[in-house]
Structure 1
Amino acid sequence: MITRRHLLGATATGLGTTCLAHPALAQPGGRPVVLVVPFSPGGPTDLIARRLAMSLGEQLNQVVVVENRAGAGGNIGAEYVARSAPDGHTILFGTSGPLAINKMLYPGQAYDPVRDFAPIAPLGRIPNVLAVHAGVPAKTVPDLVALAKRERLSFGSSGNGASSHLAGALFNTMAGTSIEHIPYRGTGPALNDLLAGHIAMVFTDVLTALPHIQGGRVRGLGVTTLERSAVLPALPTVAEQGLPGYDASVFFGLTVAAATPEAAKDRLRTAFAASVGQREMRHFLESQGMQIAPELTPPALTSLMATETDRWARVIREANVRAD
């Protein structure tokens, strides 16, 4: 079985898995398929991408490598794929940022996610958890809302425009609160300040929050998706606790350059569906907090991108969110 330690080892090497070349996808010259991760090595997105690359390589009987191209909230890697040769050899492992949100945060963005990409399929969503320091006298979301209207509170995020920032901005909008946003350069520093009691709360992914919740150093108040998380099944959603419709998560999906031939897209789509359909892969994804998409089709990803763009455009405008 693939473990987190094994996958982090793969991250250190900078490579995904290698397999025998499939003649239909290996042209020209048997070169590998590249799965581009638009973020730095070692994070949750990179970890999932490397496990997916292993499975795609097996399905395609083809060399599949992971290449990290980080920067500008995912835009550097996304633009690289958008401008790549449209032959099915370069795939973007995209998230909400480069596929939907960044166009509102980076006015000079050099690609358009609808015009410049052809969707392969969505993978799913990973929810955040609203977590407070153990010393915060709030046991539920209504408790927190009431406290925030009496006292000055702050929440930390991994940076301006990050999903953790937008989750807090949406919370303020729906709850009628003015919890102050404190941006950090990454999840780690924000979490460290939460543990130290310098900030009251964070919105962070379920796996990052889990050990600290279990250790009693922070208290989980709610999951940010409409459905509860299989990783924290006893924790109610924020929407269940007086904010109906509250939904803030990171979605994942695969795209290629827009002009990629249908035959190449179909091969990738078939391999992707077969990979995600494997029991071991589904178990791994769910262990990472992933809520797997019910439909692994191009229209499902197109619809998801449009929905998320509309959802966050209003929040970004009303909260006057600016990227770092």
Structure 2
Amino acid sequence: MKKLLAALLLPLAALGFGGLAMAATDYPVQPVKLVVPFPPGGPTDALARRLADALTSQLGQTVVVENKAGAGGNIGSDYVAHAKPDGYTILFGTSGPLAINISLYKNLGYDPRTSFAPIIRIGHLPNILVLNPKVPAHSLKELIAYAKAHPDALSFASSGNGASSHLAGVLFNQMAGTSILHVPYRGTGPALNDLLGGQVSMAFTDILTALPHVKSGALRPIGLASAQRSDALPDLPTLDEQGLAGYDVSVFFGIVAPAGTPEPIVARLNKAFAAALSDPEIRSALAMQGIVQAEDKTPEGLKKFIDSEVDKWSKVIKTAGISLN
């Protein structure tokens, strides 16, 4: 009986594995859904749509952007984490859903370290520390000294509790030994308006948003909150260079698929994204948006980076006692 059962199951098993291998070899044979876990119109959505167009040419199938916003990127990310691992539903992830939120939310529904198959790290958008010109500081050293001498005088704006602009200030306080007050807003726009108006003292925001106001003199740049300088402001040193060793709160972008996606499909998507990112027009467009491309574009590189970012932000969040549910 056992031999008979084995004889009956063997062809079925072979058919299943053969079908999976064939699907991976022929991939893609239908449109690919690129999920953006944020509303349309934002910088992440714009970047995803530009890459989707380029990826369509690389794959020979339409790449459709679908926005599934909510809960700081958790809704769309959870949707992809539980999608069929066949390469037809992938996520355009950022620092929040792929590194930070696992430590902010108690019931996230997925784990960025185990729920996804990493495909490629696109790059990062540098943040910059800017002050309202009324603050009497022109360097990191002067800012820290003033903050310590006047512990109740300064405040920093963020786009909301748990946002990278919030955690940037938390990490700054921890590393600099300051106690600058956090003022959360509903988005970058309102936060920037109050910073320009002098209702708050400073903010950590992306360089693209801050650049026009820096050039006009409406905001004073103190330093890049990233590991390297930016071509947009090449003479502005990083906070790391100025003494805040290891300080880096850049927002990163990465593409992932549901865990269990066959390796040939992951390799196909990695190759297609890498080719799109090497296109001169795409490179120029990303540079104009202030995005610095990642040097390591392998799936293994993204996996290692996500793990390190999860560890980094879990320590910051735990130390500060921050929780969003």
TM-score by length of 1: 0.90
The residue aligned with 1:118 is 117
Whether 2:186 is the aligned partner of 1:218: answer: no
Query: Which sections of structure 1, spanning at least 5 residues, go unmatched?
Result: 1-22
User: In 2, distance between residues paired with 1:286 and 1:237?
Assistant: 18
The residue aligned with 1:320 is 321
The residue aligned with 2:20 is none
Residue by residue, what CA displacement relative to the aligned partner does 1:10-66 show, whole Å, maximum 9, x if unpaired? xxxxxxxxxxxxx93343xx3x21111111111111111111111111111211111
Confirm or deny: 8 A CA contact 1:119 1:298 kept in the other structure.
yes
Confirm or deny: 8 A CA contact 1:25 1:62 kept in the other structure.
no
User: In 2, distance between residues paired with 1:308 and 1:263?
Assistant: 27
The residue aligned with 1:95 is 94
Deviation at 1:263, TM superposition (A): 2.2
The residue aligned with 1:107 is 106
User: In 2, distance between residues paired with 1:319 and 1:43?
Assistant: 29
The residue aligned with 1:66 is 65
User: In 2, distance between residues paired with 1:102 and 1:76?
Assistant: 11
Whether 2:93 is the aligned partner of 1:86: answer: no
User: In 1, distance between residues paired with 2:159 and 2:192?
Assistant: 9
**Cα RMSD (Å):** 1.3
The residue aligned with 1:42 is 41
Confirm or deny: 8 A CA contact 1:34 1:64 kept in the other structure.
yes
Residue by residue, what CA displacement relative to the aligned partner does 1:185-207 show, whole Å, maximum 9, x if unpaired? 11011001001100000000000
Q: How does 1:275-294 map to 2 (within 5 A)?
A: 275-294=276-295
The residue aligned with 2:206 is 205
Confirm or deny: 8 A CA contact 1:160 1:322 kept in the other structure.
no
1:24 is aligned, of 19, 23, 26, to 26
Give the SS at the match of 2:126: strand
Q: Whose helix proportion is higher, 1 or 2?
A: 2
Q: Which amino acid aligns with 1:269?
A: N
Confirm or deny: 8 A CA contact 1:128 1:248 kept in the other structure.
yes
The residue aligned with 2:245 is 244
Is the radius of gyration larger for structure 1 or structure 2?
2
The residue aligned with 1:187 is 188
Confirm or deny: 8 A CA contact 2:28 2:59 kept in the other structure.
no
Deviation at 1:210, TM superposition (A): 0.3
Q: Which amino acid aligns with 1:228?
A: R
Confirm or deny: 8 A CA contact 1:78 1:92 kept in the other structure.
yes
The residue aligned with 2:168 is 167
Confirm or deny: 8 A CA contact 2:175 2:244 kept in the other structure.
yes
Confirm or deny: 8 A CA contact 1:85 1:257 kept in the other structure.
yes
